[in-house]
Amino acid sequence: MTEYNKLVRVGIYIICVFILMTSCKKDVGQEQELVIEFGIHDTPQIPENYYDYENAYIVPEHFNTDPLLTLIYANIEPENNPITNAGAALGRVLFYDQKLSINNEIACASCHIQEHAFSDPRQNSIGVFGQMSDRNSMGFQNLKYSRRMFRDLRINGLENQIEVPIQNIAEMGISMEDLVTKLSGVAYYSPLVQDAFGSQEWTAERISFALSQFIRSITTFNSKYDQGIQNGFNNFSEMELAGKELFFGGDFRCNHCHTTQNFFSPQAMNNGLDTMYVDQGQFLATGEVSDIGLFKVPSLRNIALTAPYMHDGRFSDVEEVLEHYSIGVQPHPNLNDRITVEITTGGSPFLINMTDQEKIQLIAFLNTLTDLEMISDEKFANPFYY
């Protein structure tokens, strides 16, 4: 490089730093308005020795020996983007950074809140410029077992999903290209990107990869239920034991759809919410009439923390959900066979008619799926705050 070129580069660099500093000042002003949610630091506080995110790969026996879960996982784990401590640490900063939106006001964490197991307690989330999302934001954990993303399963693979909220004009509203340029000017990212990917450049792929690593590292394996599996459930109350029996016993059929140790299904299903669907679910992704009213079967882990419930957040508590399965299941040509009397798709709705006592027992059991460690773990918390 000639001296002249070097001078030009240094000049450009100085101009860039100047622009960055002035634009940062503006950001700080805007962040202060949202200080309760987004904390007190202008730069993220990351420990010099990164937290251990790679331990997400250490899974307890009952997950490893669950045949369906093992099969699902074997098909999903992306070989080109394994979790590393540096990569997930970078993903954590991105997840909480309001700079990921066009107006510096919305972060992923605006709609995915740790204490709610990364869901949003509002029925509809608020994106940039006060716009409301059509669907209820979903919580997440153990997403290493999910290949198809969103309530209608329209996206294949977490890495491909990340760009959707960033570019969606109602969520964060910024193109990946503009975001790459924007982040390239943010000094606190340079060492993190270097550690995570071996050089300091930003690319759209690196944004998706780092966020995916962070999200995939969010696991829950240590609820009261998990401890129960390991000690013969001698930590369970009578009530919780009775609820467990109802859940798995067969008569209530909950575990026919909320399956495996992850209490979910990789398929979308119609659980009889409506005779006519306003939001047509998986049909919107596939155009198949037989997919109208089918939605992702969410994991019931941490369910006590993720109200309101269903794709549109129509039920404000678990009691209302149980009322649905008890007496509210609606007929529909696509009603899943697991929830019909005849066990045929579109058959008559199977109604449990639960007693009040059974509802209380079932709720007691569902509460054992809560993992307080996950929602208070600092490695998943806001680095601009802690």
Q: For residue 81, give both structure tokens.
A: 């983007």
State which of residues 38, 50, 63, 309 lies at the interface with ligand HEC (CB under 6 A): 309
What is the C-alpha to C-alpha distance for residues 59 and 81, in angstroms, rounded to an integer? 19
Minimum separation from the CB atom of position 14 to ligand HEC (A): 31
Indicate the residue among 84 and 137 with the shorter CB distance to ligand HEC: 137
Residue 220 and residue 142 in contact, taking contact as beta carbons nearer than 8 Å:
yes
Write phi, then psi, for 7 (nearest 5 degrees): -60, -45
Nearest CA among 143, 37, 18, 34 for reference residue 91? 143
Nearest CA among 155, 154, 157, 165 for reference residue 283? 154
State which of residues 89, 303, 369, 375 lies at the interface with ligand HEC (CB under 6 A): 303
Q: Is 213 in the site for ligand HEC (CB under 6 A)?
A: no
Q: For residue 83, what are the contacts with CB-CB under 8 A and spacing of at least 6?
A: 53, 54, 56, 57, 213, 216, 217
What is the C-alpha to C-alpha distance for residues 59 and 66, in angstroms, rounded to an integer? 11
State which of residues 39, 87, 165, 266 lies at the interface with ligand HEC (CB under 6 A): 165
State which of residues 98, 137, 142, 282 lies at the interface with ligand HEC (CB under 6 A): 137
Minimum separation from the CB atom of position 2 to ligand HEC (A): 42
Apex 87 CA angle, 86 and 92, nearest 5: 95
Q: What CA–CA distances, in Å, run from 26 to 19, 41, 175, 180, 235?
A: 11, 14, 21, 19, 53
The single-letter code of the amino acid at 362 is: L
Q: Is 298 in the site for ligand HEC (CB under 6 A)?
A: yes
Minimum separation from the CB atom of position 366 to ligand HEC (A): 7
What is the C-alpha to C-alpha distance for residues 371 and 355, in angstroms, rounded to an integer? 28
Q: Is 258 in the site for ligand HEC (CB under 6 A)?
A: yes
Indicate the residue among 8 and 335 with the shorter CB distance to ligand HEC: 335
Q: Is 306 in the site for ligand HEC (CB under 6 A)?
A: yes
Indicate the residue among 4 and 244 with the shorter CB distance to ligand HEC: 244
Span 346-385, contacts to ligand HEC by CB under 6 A: 362
Span 185-204, contacts to ligand HEC by CB under 6 A: none
Stretch that binds ligand HEC, among 1-9, 57-65, 189-197, 310-318 (CB under 6 A): 310-318
State which of residues 69, 102, 193, 339 lies at the interface with ligand HEC (CB under 6 A): 339
Minimum separation from the CB atom of position 95 to ligand HEC (A): 6
Residue 97 and residue 214 in contact, taking contact as beta carbons nearer than 8 Å:
no
Burial class (CB in 10 A: 0-12, 13-18, 19+), 14: exposed
Residues forming contacts to ligand HEC in the complex (CB under 6 A) are 100, 106, 108, 110-112, 125, 127, 133, 135, 137-138, 140, 146, 149-151, 161-162, 165-166, 171-172, 211, 215, 252-254, 256-258, 269, 271, 273, 295-298, 300, 303, 306, 309-311, 318, 321, 325, 336, 338-339, 362
